[in-house]
Amino acid sequence: MKLLSIILVLAFLLVGCQPPASPQTAAPHLLLATTTSTRDSGLLDVLLPDFEKTAGVFVDVVAVGTGQALKLGEDGNADVLLVHARAKEDAFMAAGHGVRREDVMYNDFVLVGPPNDPATIAGGNDAAAAFAKIAQASAPFVSRGDDSGTHTKEKQIWAKAGIEPAGDWYISAGQGMGAVLTMADEQKAYTLSDRATFLARTLEGTQLKILVEGDPLLFNPYGVIAVNPAKNDKIQNDLANRFIDWLISAPSQEMIQQFGTAEFGQPLFVPDSAIWRSRPH
């Protein structure tokens, strides 16, 4: 018994003398500021796990309007941006806020509204003419009102129609695309939506219908931008470029092309990176 006790004491001392195990190195985090449409459509849920697994990087997502995402980049509070307002993106780059921009994908905007269509716009393909009829009828219209890419496009259409929208019928929500679609559905109102988020909402039972589509003005391209690392010494430019390289690569573009086809018989986004466009057909 004494021998066993001595052995146990020695074993305890030996274990106690061992250096503590080295803590596992934490995986780095990449901060992605992006438009709500990439989140609300479900696209990020499909794409990001692949990047996180292959790169060993956690992606922290801030989903806001494109204007807010660009402001986060301008202030040095994001590593990389995924947005959809080309004129604003070009201005962002020209001002030196970003160091790299790449085309990623595109889809289109659609004008949706209640099935009874009080402004009688169904079947048209002229967005400005449809907006004019909505205003003339004082039919409820829910605007994003958040300086997003969708809001920017909406303002372009109102400008083409020669109308400054105002009145009780025009509701400025200051919300993301999913929330605005919910509001429009509840209030039997019209709104402008990217096609991907709207189609994703049809799986949740929205009564809204696509009433106007096909106008070239409704084209909706997306770009990815690496924020200028000079803005903040915490900006991870190497990780941002790894993310961009991955996003525009052929395998990731293929995932974008397949997203939504099972549910809707069509992709919700069309891949459009330079690598994708130059692939052999």
**SS3 state of residue 82:** strand
Please write the tens of the pLDDT for every residue from 33-88: 999 999 999 999 999 999 999 999 999 999 999 999 999 999 999 999 999 999 99
Q: What is the mean pLDDT of residues 187-210?
A: 95
More confident residue, 161 or 148: 161
- Are residue 244 and residue 271 in the same domain, yes or no? yes
Mean pLDDT of 17-37: 70
211 and 117 together in one domain: yes
For the chain, what percent of residues have pLDDT higher than 70?
91
**Is residue 140 domain-shared with residue 200, that is, in the same domain?**
yes
Mean pLDDT of 163-182: 95
Q: Domain of 101: which CATH number?
A: 3.40.190.10
Residue-range definition of the domain harbouring residue 257: 29-107+221-277
Q: How confident is the model at residue 26 (pLDDT cuts 50, 70, 90)?
A: confident
The single residue listed with the structure tokens 């909706």 is 220
Are both 198 and 163 inside the same structural domain?
A: yes
Statement to judge: residues 124 and 200 lie in one domain: yes
Q: How many domains does the chain have?
A: 2
Residues 89 and 119 in one domain: no
- DSSP SS3 for 92: helix
Taking alpha carbons only, the member of 59, 7, 106, 41 closest to residue 240 is 59
- The answer to whether position 13 is within a domain reads no
Q: Are residues 114 and 212 in the same domain?
A: yes
Could you tell me if 200 and 153 lie in one domain?
yes
What pLDDT sits at residue 202? 92
Same domain, 102 and 234: yes
Task: Determine what percent of the chain is predicted with pLDDT higher than 90.
Answer: 86
pLDDT at residue 104, as a whole number: 98
Ranges of H-type helices in 18-148: 36-40, 43-55, 66-74, 86-94, 127-137
- Report if residue 10 sits inside a domain: no
Distance CA 65, CA 86 (A): 14
95 and 141 share a domain? no
Give the model's confidence band at 230: pLDDT under 50 very low, under 70 low, under 90 confident, else very high.
Answer: very high
Helix or strand (DSSP H, E) at 6: helix 2-17
Average pLDDT over residues 120-145: 97
H-helix segments, 162-211: 177-187, 195-202
Please state, rounded to an integer, the average pLDDT across all residues of the chain.
91
Length of the chain (residues): 281
pLDDT at 94 exceeding the cut of 70: yes
Does 101 lie in the same domain as 233? yes
Asked whether residue 43 falls in the same domain as residue 114, the answer is no
Of the residues 218, 235, 255, which one is the last residue of a structural domain? 218
How far is C-alpha 72 from the geometric centre of its chain's CA atoms? 14
pLDDT recorded at residue 3: 40
- Domain finish residue from 198, 218, 238: 218
Domain boundary among the residues 218, 244, 259 is at: 218
